[in-house]
Structure 1
Amino acid sequence: MSVANQRPEAPTAIRTDLGAFFASLELSHSKWLITSLQPGSEVMSKHVVAAGNVAGLLDRFAELRRKAEARTGRCYPIIVIQGAGLDGFWIHRVLQAEGIESHVVDAASIATSRRRRRAKTDGIDGEALVRALLAYKRGEPRVCAMVRAPTPEEEDRRRISRERKTLTNERISHVNRVKGLLFAQGVSGYEPLRRDRRKRLEELMTGDGRPLPAHLKAQIGRELDRLELLLEQIKAVEAERDAMLAAEQLTSPAPTMLLNLKGIGPEFAVVLWSEGLSRHFDNRRQVAAYAGLAPTPWQSGSVDYDQGVSKAGNPRLRTTLIQTAWLWLRHQPRSALTLWFKDRVKQNSGRLKKTTIIALARKLLVALWKYVNAGVVIEGAVMKTA
């Protein structure tokens, strides 16, 4: 028999009859698009419900299940997928409470066409989500990256550090605005964060020897009002953070273990614990990938080089780790990680410090993960004195 006769006359169809309904949700502020695929069918149907209409969404799923049961005599489970976005995880939790298998996917992990002008609609995206869910349930590797939804308690625990970061950025904006207004009048050296800021404002003179104009002084006064409110809110958030750390120490030793390391304070300990180290990881590669510190290779034929870190993970955790790595060099000069950094920089003749600090941040994250989960002490690390 020839090789040509051994080939099938038609391509093998993709198996879609997995004994379940597959549905995707495209969520927006005004409507929710439901794209569903019935068992044994290859045609997807689409239905729209108003945004926030959970009862309508569940009724739609119940109607699809009733029609399939009347047609086949079997009751099929429903498996739903949605992209991680502004709606958070509350819809995912509602579906799970109703006994519906729900998945949240990182939309950026789904392969798309690389055409310069590719078509993009909610309908196309909904079908792509259903196909990704089908492949995922068939067990195809790396077809997409499902997000592990945090519990309400884990999600709420992150808010303290994130709110403090927002307030700190607003504080910087007000300080810079005050300094910019004064610099335009020839005034420099004024520090709005000093306690005597009001008194010094009254004493300021412009660069050409005039008192500050009345409207300018009034505007700066209002900026200082907002700045002082922010300072009070930052103090309140920090007090709440410290209280949360004290409460966490009663249920988990990890925050205390982080605080015991020299160079890690309350804010960094909260961010490292709530944003990353409190989660479950199977290996160090998953830890580095979650922080976006995993290397990204580029290989094609004879071309083979490293593009740097992926930056595809948690940006807050990644930023904090890089800052922690710089502080680690200062406060842990005799640790094995610091000695590795200095040796690598010496090999590069003092160059590529910023690149090497990223590698140190990745090593430090893995070391901290082993430290808080398995109790593996970081080699040469110094603990804080009592």
Structure 2
Amino acid sequence: MGKYDYTGKTVYMGIDVHKKTYACVSVCAGEIVKKDTMPASPLALINYIKNNFSGAIVETVYEAGFSGFHLHRKLIDAGVKNRIVHPGSIEVATRDRVKTDKRDAKKMAVQLSAGRLRGIYIPTLEQEAKRSASRLRNSIVKLRHQVGQKIKALLFTQGLIPMDDDTALSKRWLNQKIEEVEALNYPVGFYYTLKRYADKWLSFTNDLAEIKKEVLMMQSDEEKALLLIYESAPGIGEITALKLKDELGDMQQFTSEKKLFNYLGFTPVEYSSGENVHQGHISRQGRAMLRHIFVEAAWIAVRRDPQLNEIYKRLLIKRGSKRAIVGIARRLAGRLRSCVRDGTLYEIKKEALSAESTDAINDCCVTS
């Protein structure tokens, strides 16, 4: 029997991407037509599509994750319409407890064919490169924090600091502790360990200063203007503005606040039964780091922005502090989106909220 002719037909392919293999399931006209596993090579996948679905319109999908956007760009260059989806957006049946590569690929293919999957935003190569530099800094911040914790744990074991010491580490503070250890004639092994940890902490600190300098030098005039807008929002400093700019850019991809909230994971999960609609906790899809930034900024914003402070107080009475601050973070993100898209600085308004804004306060009420 000859090969099936797919000319003019649309084939939907789900791809479960792994380090060494791609598991692919293809759906056409509502039926599964092929299931295969191949080496994890974009070229092998493109040749597979060309050899098996010649003349067809092929749409593919895979989950966002460790593999990044390289496969996506190769598929697009080959004329394949691909999208990357957030893993949490893929529907899973309540009793579906079996997870295999081809089952995952099948879910994606079926849901793609039904139009139930929405792709995430794909950054340009330039944006991705700048994100990597920003994320490098985040990684070193975490490493420095870990070393700082080890230093304090070591000092505590010898009674050199109290258990609840909350001193911010600095070069001066470390030098004082090293001199103290030296003066008190602690064993050489203890002094050596403390000194090595201190050297490591200072090395990371120097790395962070160098990375910050280099990252700022990479910014174009347009990006510098964007940074000023991000920094104009209450609670957003220079480093945080860099992170937001690298992750969110000029926000032109977010044509509505809802799309931004979806990206940040600030959209409440909805439970519907008949005519009843209940909203629960936020979805937490998207990058947790961005949600954390907006929540931290929200705590400062409620002290600096009278309108946000008024909203927070009302939400606090209705929903409690945890939900209230997430609502403020969501509203702050929406305001900042408008500023970035319009090219205007964030403006703190002193006047009271309008009736329309007051009515919209409940829109902020989402659970963290």
User: Aligning the two structures, in what range does the TM-score lie when normalised by the shorter sequence?
Assistant: 0.7 to 0.9
Query: How many Å apart are 1:344 and its aligned residue?
Result: 4.5
What does residue 111 of structure 1 align with?
A: 91
Please state if 1:254 is matched with 2:242: no
Please state if 1:64 is matched with 2:52: yes
Instruction: Count residues with an aligned counterpart.
Output: 340
What does residue 88 of structure 1 align with?
A: 68
Distance of 1:126 and 1:268 partners within structure 2: 37
Write out aligned runs for 1:120-135 (5 A): 120-135=99-114
Please state if 1:19 is matched with 2:9: yes
Are the equivalent residues in 2 in contact too, given 1:277–1:369 (CA < 8 A)?
A: no
What does residue 300 of structure 2 align with?
A: 327
Are the equivalent residues in 1 in contact too, given 2:8–2:57 (CA < 8 A)?
A: no
Query: How many Å apart are 1:318 and its aligned residue?
Result: 0.8
Structure 1 portions without partners, runs of 5+: 1-15, 67-74, 137-142
Taking a change above 3 Å as real, the CA distance of residues 309 and 41 of structure 1, as seen in their structure-2 partners, is: closer
1:182 partner amino acid: L
1:193 partner amino acid: S
Structure with the larger RCO, 1 or 2 (CA within 8 Å, 6+ apart): 2
What does residue 275 of structure 1 align with?
A: 247
Query: How many Å apart are 1:366 and its aligned residue?
Result: 0.7
Per-residue CA distance 1:216-265 (angstroms, 9 max, x = gap): 22122221221121111111121123224xx3433673322233456432
Are the equivalent residues in 2 in contact too, given 1:259–1:266 (CA < 8 A)?
A: yes
What does residue 264 of structure 2 align with?
A: 291
Please state if 1:211 is matched with 2:199: no
Distance of 1:59 and 1:360 partners within structure 2: 50
Q: Secondary structure at the match of 1:35?
A: strand
RMSD of equivalent CA atoms: 3.0
Taking a change above 3 Å as real, the CA distance of residues 242 and 131 of structure 1, as seen in their structure-2 partners, is: same
TM-score (norm 2): 0.81
Q: Which of these residues, 307, 326, 337, is aligned with residue 369 of structure 1?
A: 337
Taking a change above 3 Å as real, the CA distance of residues 309 and 36 of structure 1, as seen in their structure-2 partners, is: closer
Taking a change above 3 Å as real, the CA distance of residues 317 and 287 of structure 1, as seen in their structure-2 partners, is: same
What does residue 266 of structure 1 align with?
A: 238
Write out aligned runs for 1:290-369 (5 A): 290-300=263-273, 306-330=279-303, 332-333=304-305, 335-345=306-316, 347=317, 352-369=320-337
Q: Secondary structure at the match of 2:206?
A: helix
Structure 2 portions without partners, runs of 5+: 1-5, 351-368
Query: How many Å apart are 1:119 and its aligned residue?
Result: 1.8
2:47 partner amino acid: D
- Higher-Rg member (1/2): 1
Per-residue CA distance 1:147-175 (angstroms, 9 max, x = gap): 22211112222223322222112111111
Are the equivalent residues in 2 in contact too, given 1:271–1:320 (CA < 8 A)?
A: no
Identical columns (%): 23
TM-score (norm 1): 0.78
Q: Which of these residues, 37, 59, 63, is aligned with residue 79 of structure 1?
A: 59
Are the equivalent residues in 1 in contact too, given 2:14–2:24 (CA < 8 A)?
A: yes
Query: How many Å apart are 1:300 and its aligned residue?
Result: 4.2
Taking a change above 3 Å as real, the CA distance of residues 131 and 181 of structure 1, as seen in their structure-2 partners, is: same
2:178 partner amino acid: L
Are the equivalent residues in 2 in contact too, given 1:24–1:35 (CA < 8 A)?
A: yes
Query: How many Å apart are 1:310 and its aligned residue?
Result: 2.2
What does residue 6 of structure 1 align with?
A: none
Distance of 2:79 and 2:274 partners within structure 1: 49
Q: Secondary structure at the match of 2:83?
A: strand
Q: Secondary structure at the match of 2:93?
A: coil
Distance of 1:304 and 1:99 partners within structure 2: 41
Query: How many Å apart are 1:370 and its aligned residue?
Result: 1.0
